[in-house]
Amino acid sequence: MFNKVLIANRGEIAVRILRACRELGLETVAVYSEADRQALHVRYADEAYLLGPAPSRESYLRGDKIIEIAKKCGAGAIHPGYGFLAEREDFAEACAEAGIVFIGPKPSAIAAMGDKAVARATVAKSGVPVVPGTEDVGDLSDEELLALAPKIGFPLLIKATAGGGGKGMREVRSLEEMPTLLQSARREAEAAFGDGNVYLEKLIEGARHIEIQILADQHGNVIHLGERECSLQRRHQKLIEESPSPFIGTDEDLRQRMGEVAVRAAQAVEYVNAGTIEFLVDKDKNFYFLEMNTRLQVEHPVTEMVTGIDIVKEQIRIARGRQLSYTQEDVSFKGHAIECRINAEDPFNNFMPSTGRITHSVLPTGPGVRVDTSVYPGFEITPYYDPLIAKLIVWGETRGQAILRMRRALEEYRIVGIRTNIPFHQMMMDSTRFIAGQYDTRFVEERFDIEKAEGGSDEAPQIAAIMATLAAHQQTQRAAHVVRRAERDTSNWKWLGRWERLQR
Amino acid sequence: MFNKVLIANRGEIAVRILRACRELGLETVAVYSEADRQALHVRYADEAYLLGPAPSRESYLRGDKIIEIAKKCGAGAIHPGYGFLAEREDFAEACAEAGIVFIGPKPSAIAAMGDKAVARATVAKSGVPVVPGTEDVGDLSDEELLALAPKIGFPLLIKATAGGGGKGMREVRSLEEMPTLLQSARREAEAAFGDGNVYLEKLIEGARHIEIQILADQHGNVIHLGERECSLQRRHQKLIEESPSPFIGTDEDLRQRMGEVAVRAAQAVEYVNAGTIEFLVDKDKNFYFLEMNTRLQVEHPVTEMVTGIDIVKEQIRIARGRQLSYTQEDVSFKGHAIECRINAEDPFNNFMPSTGRITHSVLPTGPGVRVDTSVYPGFEITPYYDPLIAKLIVWGETRGQAILRMRRALEEYRIVGIRTNIPFHQMMMDSTRFIAGQYDTRFVEERFDIEKAEGGSDEAPQIAAIMATLAAHQQTQRAAHVVRRAERDTSNWKWLGRWERLQR
Amino acid sequence: MKYIATTDEKEIGIEIVDEHHVRIGDRLIAVDFVALSDQPLYSLIVDGKSYEAYIYPEEGGWQVLLMGRLYHVHVEDEREKRLRAAAGSKVAETGEFHLKAPMPGLVVSVPVSEGQSVEKGDVLVILESMKMQNELKSPRAGTVSRIRVKPGDSVEQRQTLLSVV
Amino acid sequence: MKYIATTDEKEIGIEIVDEHHVRIGDRLIAVDFVALSDQPLYSLIVDGKSYEAYIYPEEGGWQVLLMGRLYHVHVEDEREKRLRAAAGSKVAETGEFHLKAPMPGLVVSVPVSEGQSVEKGDVLVILESMKMQNELKSPRAGTVSRIRVKPGDSVEQRQTLLSVV
């Protein structure tokens, strides 16, 4: 039985896992790259070891080094979080060989589900419906894929077999554009997962992306914790998740059937620990297995909020060999939860990543609000890792209450020093289609225009004009006092910088 | 029906109420003193009006001015929060006369319960047990009190009839020391409530302070939301509250009886809105009515966490004339919640208040953690108001889980620029008596010594020595580089200040 | 001091009367404007209404992020406006455009070549940062000149990548 | 550089070897010590263990708030220690004590008079701040001198209220 856990990750998820360990009375070990010396996971852990330079390949993807550290410091288990090494069977295998518990499924289950093409074939055999696509097992060459594509029919999707999070994914409308897209998908997949292999899948239009959280212990018990609606995406990146799904709504029969199929899919690979079965659901409520994520999901908190179950603690208990704390009958749902992913990117500039030092921040707090974050004032956002800096999660008695609460939380949230997509989320919470629950996976790209979003106030432009004028006036006034005329020809930027320094 | 609410308060409770209004779709109006221009309640409200200079008497206690503002800006209701005008019947009366809804009980109920001596007499008549003391109604002079004291017996308590929060409270061990203590109690009561009247009550030793939250609508429905354990106090100021009470534990019969008596006490004054009945419970589980707080309590969140009921939203619904959203049967309890009051005071220096500018802060976040606060980096803590700057509330499936979670949350909490009592709470969470639930209202003063607290780590003194040495070394090194020798004779303080400025 | 603020192509005349008053048209308005925590984050109370915004300088004006919406405001005082009127033209739309890296990253590809004509919105450079590939587009039509980077290059924030004339 | 750190009356010899190493006794220890967010808040990783503390200068040393406990640490380098040893005495315990207001507030009462003898722990001044009455006590025995305030006075932080000789 282990009493010390190494967390092989960074960012908000490393902090999330640290908290679970600490609350279970376990000792914690952080690992970090040179860019993360001051990161919260390093600060909060009992022990912390340097992995190497900032790039992931030289740090957070160095499974060998991580296992070596675990052995040296006596950590009996490794939690991989999501991303990085979370779905690498070779890493899970190496942990087992080193006598370290991998907090996750067996290598064989990772392998079976990790190769998305193999996964489809496996679950299909147990009678789970799958989206039509390249069913064949194995690495397909560009030529093979180009030959198969017309049989599946366009539009279709190229997806990374090792993938997740939309990385290495491309939508193809015709055979002509396919070679170029194959190339870029492989390049992105290679960069993200160290594996450029891809497969094809029919694009189901107007589809909703709904997933089922499952938990499975080492004693053969498998339960599901209901669904999460994850259709709100941009460039195949989830942005907003909720539970329950407004599309499933009160259709308890559909919910139950999806849950049962999800449990069956997990059983097909003798799954152990927490996992997620992703489904595409079409307008007629047909649902298709998309893939299984054999790890903790970014969006797990919405399920925690409506079930009261701490998924990460349950993961650790499972890894310690315990029986599940809950039977399927114990699982009940209360209220509604929504998560907004707060990214360091500028929604007004094509969602361009934004880096820099966070100079100030005020978190939304109060009843029904949870923030999972790893940043704080003074922390530097670097270009090396993904742009997720916080998850804002709210709970409400009803979906309407949750939306109102999310609106007030977004309005309270302040981050200075970088740009974030908070305004995007604010517009989404004002959008009539979101409020009505009428959105599919293409909503953001096809129907949403940040320049023409609903809900802006009439008086705001005038208020903005007054504020800009007052700021301009202050700048002029102060500058006139403190800077000699001779220096007047420096740029606005420099001016402001100097003025700010004088203000301190 | 009102659609705009003026919040006649400041600090965390003003922010808490603002949030509830916003989540109900109501417009919000803040009022503020000159010291609070940058306070969060001013920033978050839709409208904000200046009341006057910093001292409460010239600002937050100016009921006349507040009503005038409400009328001018069209606020249909006023929420008083706690403290300030919350339990002033004349203010509630003035609101009614101005045609403004006072979100709280009727003036008659405030009057009946507000004068603590009258309250005791009133509830005693409906068969509610009270602590022996000065039962008589009316203002008693020092001479009368000194004559009555020996009949009640020592030790006894002097309490402010308009009181609450331990202000104007003094413990008396003998008749000799009583005149001096009467004087200081009256002075403090006068300063805090504008009313120097006091009464006497027998001191029940080894008592626990347990209170019942009630909700009552305008249609005669009264329910209770279970108990809060508030025995952990210092100088009669509550510091840690929890629900359920570890003393009541699984004694459902006692819980039910206290709940019923609380409902009866509320009904005795035809109570409407949220209120709290405070009881003293002795070692043999006899319980005595202590007083009724005819307002929202500081510690209401622990009840919200275990019942899932938003008390402030319910207050507003009641004030709008709605029926209670819940019957007594709907109220159920899940898990355990603990609140630590974070005060701007130095636990290592006799809990001396600490003022200054908060230069940095990192909040604890994540699952099961709620922070109700009104401060942020850059905000100035002034000496004008009470030292409560935040409430840290956690929920856990069990009391043990809640304590572990509170430990990790306290450990994560960082506030720089002022001193706080966070270390006190950390020691309390490590104290075996707290963990065992074996504490009464005198525990902190009589059995707890901050210099000899349990749970410190053995290696810590050496780590502290290393850190101080490294800090001293850095200071010397940097100073040597940047400051000329001639300036070397300035004090350490100035040195550090200068060095810090250079670091920016 | 009198200013002309332009936003959404509407001009508003705003006179700063004193520290606590502005005049718009013939309306004298009470304002209370403060910077919060020494940040480019401002609180404005105007006629009792409480607003908060991030205000950033940008080329030729200010960005104001208010209630989740971004406003571009051009502010000039009367003297500046008279000078500009006298010069008889708006700020020229032509001139060289320098594409600068909005963040540090790795150049993935440069799908244009020197001398090539581009339209507004054409992709000039693909830059990888934060594990995402970001398309940097041309803000206007023109001709590509002086490409200073090639695929595989690491670039710093604000480094000039190429120009459009 | 060699230092002697004293805490809880225990002396520890700590040698700063270089930026990333200290020596205690004959143990060479790897340390990584950084200030966080330019605050008096420090992270130390020592032998893989991660610690964080607030470090404040105080008269004659440093306060270190670490894991919820406050440590007073006196640090001196070897030269200082030799000088002090040569002078042949500890820092004198006598000398004038100036009672300073720990925060701004209102003087409620001054229960002592000039020339009066006081014991350690006797109340010298009652100061109201944050709605609480705070008793300011004498840190040692002595005689009250130069009372500079009277009940009703408003005082600033660090203002001297009276002295004890």
Chain A from 351 to 370: CB within 8 A of any C CB: 352-355, 359-360
| Residue B88 clears pLDDT 70, i.e. is over it | yes
What is the pLDDT at residue C104?
A: 81
B43 and chain C in contact, CB less than 8 A: yes
CATH fold for domain D1-91: Glycoprotein, Type 4 Pilin (3.30.700)
Neighbours of D85 (CB within 10 A): 9
| 3 state SS for C10-42 | EEEEEEEEECCEEEECCEEEEEEEEECCCCCEE
- Give whole-number Cα distances, C133 to A383, A453, B441, C108, C111, in Å: 12, 26, 61, 8, 14
**DSSP labels for A265-308?**
HHHHTT--EEEEEEEEE-TT--EEEEEEE-S--TTHHHHHHHH-
B222 and chain C in contact, CB less than 8 A: no
Enumerate the domain spans of chain C.
Answer: 1-91, 94-165
pLDDT digits (tens, 9 = 90+) for A35-85: 999 999 999 999 999 999 999 999 999 999 999 999 999 999 999 999 999
Report how far residue A134's alpha carbon sits from residue C149's, in angstroms, rounded to the nearest whole number: 39
- How high does pLDDT run on average in chain B? 91
- Cα end-to-end distance, chain A, whole Å: 53
A-chain CB neighbours of C40 within 8 Å are: 416, 496, 500
Report how far residue D65's alpha carbon sits from residue A369's, in angstroms, rounded to the nearest whole number: 30
Q: Which of A15, A18, A19, A501 to mutate to test the interface with B (most CBs of B within 10 A)?
A: A19
| Residue D92 clears pLDDT 60, i.e. is over it | no
Q: What is the pTM of this model?
A: 0.87
Quick one: average pLDDT of B375-401? Answer: 96
Residue type, B498: R
Cβ distance of A366 and B363 shorter than 8 Å: no
ipTM above 0.90, yes or no: no
Using 50, 70 and 90 to split pLDDT, how confident is the model at B136? low
Total length of chain B: 504
| Residue C83 clears pLDDT 70, i.e. is over it | yes
- How high does pLDDT run on average in chain D? 88
3-state secondary structure of A466: helix
- How high does pLDDT run on average in chain A? 91
- Give whole-number Cα distances, B356 to A54, A148, B353, B387, D126, in Å: 38, 70, 10, 12, 21
Using 50, 70 and 90 to split pLDDT, how confident is the model at A30? very high
What is the pLDDT at residue B452?
A: 77
Ranges B160-169, B339-348, C44-53: which has the least confidence: B160-169
What is the pLDDT at residue D96?
A: 82
Helices and strands in chain D: count of H runs, count of E runs: 1, 16
Contact between A374 and A318 under an 8 Å Cβ cutoff? The reply is no
pLDDT digits (tens, 9 = 90+) for D35-86: 999 999 999 999 999 999 999 998 889 999 999 999 999 999 887 877 777 6
What is the pLDDT at residue D90?
A: 45
Quick one: average pLDDT of D12-23? Answer: 95
pLDDT digits (tens, 9 = 90+) for B285-334: 999 999 999 999 999 999 999 999 999 999 999 999 999 999 999 999 99
**Three-point CA angle B87, B213, B252, nearest 5°:** 155
Query: Is D touching C (3+ C-beta pairs, cut-off 8 A)?
Result: no
Q: Which residue in the list A295, A341, A370, A419 is annotated as catalytic?
A: A295
A295 is catalytic: yes
Residue with tokens 């290696």: B459
Report how far residue A430's alpha carbon sits from residue A485's, in angstroms, rounded to the nearest whole number: 48
Distance from CA of B180 to the nearest CA of A (A): 43
A378 and chain D in contact, CB less than 8 A: yes
Report how far residue A319's alpha carbon sits from residue A305's, in angstroms, rounded to the nearest whole number: 23
| Residue A232 clears pLDDT 90, i.e. is over it | yes
DSSP at A352: E
Using 50, 70 and 90 to split pLDDT, how confident is the model at A455? low
Quick one: average pLDDT of B87-115? Answer: 96
Q: Which domains does chain A have, with CATH numbers?
A: 4-103 (3.40.50.20), 132-202 (3.30.1490.20)
Report how far residue B358's alpha carbon sits from residue B414's, in angstroms, rounded to the nearest whole number: 10
Quick one: average pLDDT of B118-127? Answer: 89
| Residue C134 clears pLDDT 70, i.e. is over it | yes
Report how far residue C12's alpha carbon sits from residue D63's, in angstroms, rounded to the nearest whole number: 56
| Residue B152 clears pLDDT 60, i.e. is over it | yes
Cβ distance of B376 and A367 shorter than 8 Å: no
B-chain CB neighbours of A365 within 8 Å are: 363, 370-373
- Would strands D97-100 and D160-164 be described as parallel, antiparallel, or unpaired? antiparallel
The two structure tokens encoding residue D96: 């004038």
What is the pLDDT at residue A193?
A: 83
Quick one: average pLDDT of C121-147? Answer: 86
Percent of chain B at pLDDT above 90? 78
Quick one: average pLDDT of D159-163? Answer: 91
Quick one: average pLDDT of A152-156? Answer: 92
Quick one: average pLDDT of A363-385? Answer: 96
What is the pLDDT at residue A458?
A: 84
Report how far residue A282's alpha carbon sits from residue A229's, in angstroms, rounded to the nearest whole number: 13
What is the pLDDT at residue A139?
A: 81
Quick one: average pLDDT of A101-125? Answer: 91
pLDDT digits (tens, 9 = 90+) for A288-326: 999 999 999 999 999 999 999 999 999 999 999 999 999
The two structure tokens encoding residue A163: 């993938």
Report how far residue C133's alpha carbon sits from residue A182's, in angstroms, rounded to the nearest whole number: 15
What is the pLDDT at residue B485?
A: 41
Distance from CA of D103 to the nearest CA of B (A): 7
Give the distance, in angstroms, between the CA of residue B198 and the centroid of all CA atoms in the same chain: 21
Ranges A216-220, C11-15, D5-9: which has the least confidence: D5-9
The two structure tokens encoding residue B86: 């919350």
pLDDT digits (tens, 9 = 90+) for B411-459: 999 999 999 999 999 999 999 999 999 998 889 988 888 877 776 778 9
| Residue A191 clears pLDDT 90, i.e. is over it | no
Using 50, 70 and 90 to split pLDDT, how confident is the model at A205? confident
C-chain CB neighbours of B43 within 8 Å are: 36, 43, 50, 52
Distance from CA of D104 to the nearest CA of B (A): 6
Contact between B473 and B465 under an 8 Å Cβ cutoff? The reply is no
What is the pLDDT at residue B464?
A: 96
**Three-point CA angle A431, A436, A438, nearest 5°:** 90
List, in sequence order, every beta strand (DSSP E) within A309-410.
336-343, 345-346, 352-353, 356-357, 360-362, 369-373, 380-381, 388-396
Quick one: average pLDDT of B147-169? Answer: 87
Cβ distance of D22 and B469 shorter than 8 Å: yes
Using 50, 70 and 90 to split pLDDT, how confident is the model at A482? low
What is the pLDDT at residue B504?
A: 40
A373 and chain B in contact, CB less than 8 A: yes
Quick one: average pLDDT of B481-485? Answer: 53
What is the pLDDT at residue A136?
A: 60
Residue A92: enclosing H or E segment and its boundaries?
A: helix A89-97
The two structure tokens encoding residue D21: 């190493």
Quick one: average pLDDT of A247-270? Answer: 95
Report how far residue B292's alpha carbon sits from residue B262's, in angstroms, rounded to the nearest whole number: 9
A288 and chain C in contact, CB less than 8 A: no
| Residue B155 clears pLDDT 90, i.e. is over it | yes
Ranges A321-325, C41-45, D105-109: which has the least confidence: D105-109
| Residue A493 clears pLDDT 60, i.e. is over it | no
Select the more confidently predicted residue: C137 or A98: A98
Quick one: average pLDDT of A401-406? Answer: 97
Domain C94-165: CATH class, spelled out: mainly beta
B-chain CB neighbours of C39 within 8 Å are: 378
Report how far residue A154's alpha carbon sits from residue A177's, in angstroms, rounded to the nearest whole number: 11
A-chain CB neighbours of D32 within 8 Å are: 37
DSSP at A219: T
